């Protein structure tokens, strides 16, 4: 893993040099919430209400 600046999120994340996967604080928070059924349900409901720009 190497640090990588994510300009669109104005933060620093990590990129795997083997597979190219990106990890940032938002991805980690979503993964943490998905570990519980309540958190997964809340994320799905929020995604269903999202509007396109």
In a domain, 29, yes or no: yes
Cβ-proximal residues to 14 (8 Å cutoff; 6+ apart), any chain: 1, 2, 3, 4, 22, 23, 24
Domain range for residue 27? Answer: 2-48
Rounded Cα–Cα distance for residues 49 and 26 (Å): 19
Torsion over CA of 27, 49, 7 and 39, rounded to 10 degrees? -20
In a domain, 53, yes or no: no
In a domain, 44, yes or no: yes
Between 53 and 34, the higher pLDDT residue: 34
Domain tally, the chain:
1
Torsion over CA of 5, 6, 12 and 17, rounded to 10 degrees? -70
pLDDT in tens, 28-40: 888 888 777 777 7
Total-model pTM: 0.53
Confidence band for 52, pLDDT divided at 50, 70 and 90: low
Rounded Cα–Cα distance for residues 34 and 53 (Å): 26
């Amino acid at each position: 893993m190497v640090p990588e600046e994510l300009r669109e999120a104005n933060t620093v994340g990590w990129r795997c040099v083997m597979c190219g996967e990106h990890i940032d604080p938002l991805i980690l928070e979503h993964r943490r919430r998905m570990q519980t059924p309540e958190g997964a349900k809340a994320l799905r409901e929020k995604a269903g209400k999202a509007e396109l720009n």
